[in-house]
Amino acid sequence: MGSRRQFLVILASAFGMVPVVAWLTGPSTVRTAGGSFPVHKSDEEWRRVLTPAQYRVLRGHATERPFTSPLNREHREGTFSCAGCARGLFASATKFDSGTGWPSFWRPLENAVGTSVDQRLLMVRTEVHCAGCGGHLGHVFGDGPQPTGLRYCMNGIALNFEATL
Ligand SMILES: [Zn+2]
């Protein structure tokens, strides 16, 4: 009985997760963080152009402490771009308050980000990186609001915001 229940839980979570992961890693987002990107810099160059905190997140896959980014409270109209290469990533219209303490969006701009499977911390998560420079931005989860049902949970320090004039 116990193992059957366990099997059903695994089955249910597999059915719950696979479509999202398959869709996210579909042909439109084939680039992975290990691939090649339009913007390429050596590790030394990244250390020079990024602040130590930006470097830890964008190049080192660290996660900023929640509720620390001023972008959590950014509600103006505009575009959120990559702090590493300035590629536009998210429109303010897709930002929502997830209550997590990290800037959250339900959809990136077209061709702005790529995804890869992240198995760090004994969890399987979908990592989101910038399609311009491969910099780590955060993760995407399947518990976001409509119309996509996705929650792009971003490190604010990996983003810059430019308000629409
Ligand atoms: Zn970038």
DSSP-derived secondary structure for 77-126: SEEEEETTT--EEEEGGGEE--SSSS-EES-PPTT-EEEEEE-GGG--EE
Q: How many CB atoms neighbour CB 53 within 10 A? A: 15
pLDDT bin (cut points 50, 70, 90) of residue 19 is very low
Span of 4-8, 61-65, 116-120, 130-134 with lowest mean pLDDT: 4-8
The answer to whether residues 33 and 134 touch, using CB atoms and an 8 Å cutoff, is yes
Query: How many Å lie between the centroid of ligand 1 and the Cα of residue 66?
Result: 21
Q: Which amino acid is at 130?
A: C
Active site residue 153: yes
pLDDT in tens, 144-163: 999 999 999 999 999 999 99
Ligand 1 centre and the CA of 9: distance in Å? 38
Mean pLDDT of 74-102: 98
pLDDT above 90 for 3: no
- Per-residue pLDDT for 2 more than 70? no
The CA 133 to ligand 1 mean position distance, Å, reads 4
Rounded to the nearest 5°, which phi and psi values hold at 42?
Answer: -75, 165
Evaluate whether 136 touches 33 at the Cβ level (below 8 Å).
Answer: yes
The pLDDT value recorded for residue 119 is 87
pLDDT at residue 6, rounded to an integer: 54
